[in-house]
Amino acid sequence: SVQLVESGGDSVQAGGSLRLSCAVSGYTYKKLCMGWFRQGAGKEREYVAHVYNGGGPSAYHDSVKGRFTISQDNAKNTLYLQMNSLKTEDTGMYYCAADPAPAVCSSRTLRSSAYWGQGTQVTVSS
């Protein structure tokens, strides 16, 4: 089965940058839909971005467009989330999710996936 381990979370000031990583193991890194979600204290888990390593454009939640970039390194079996111009509302636990060989790669299919990491905490202070 797929194992996901996130890292890179930290405490930063507003306007700063962070890069999150999600290491993937237990699966041949082919045709994998992957993405990032986040959950602030007392809030529901929120979609951030996703990408399909089988091709096609990445997609983002409107709140992070132009500030966050999702990317992947297939050679390293790693998914990244580059976060720039961070805001206090970006604070939360960030989770990596994966859906192996999906018929459709979307935020909806990822949200219902069985494969999630343990999360990495991002705290943005003003």
Per-residue pLDDT of the chain (126 residues; tens, 9 = 90+): 889 999 999 999 999 999 999 999 987 657 889 999 999 999 999 999 999 987 778 999 999 999 999 999 888 889 999 999 999 999 999 999 999 878 889 999 999 999 999 999 999 999
Type of residue at 22: C
Residues 67, 83 contacting (CB under 8 angstroms): yes
Q: How far is Cα 79 from Cα 24, in angstroms, rounded to an integer?
A: 8
Tokens for 76?
């390293």
Provide the pLDDT for residue 106.
Answer: 92
Rg (CA), the chain: 14
CA distance 19 to 93: 14
Q: Name the β-bridge partners of 21.
A: 7, 80
What is the spatial distance between Cα 33 and Cα 102, in angstroms, rounded to a whole number?
Answer: 7
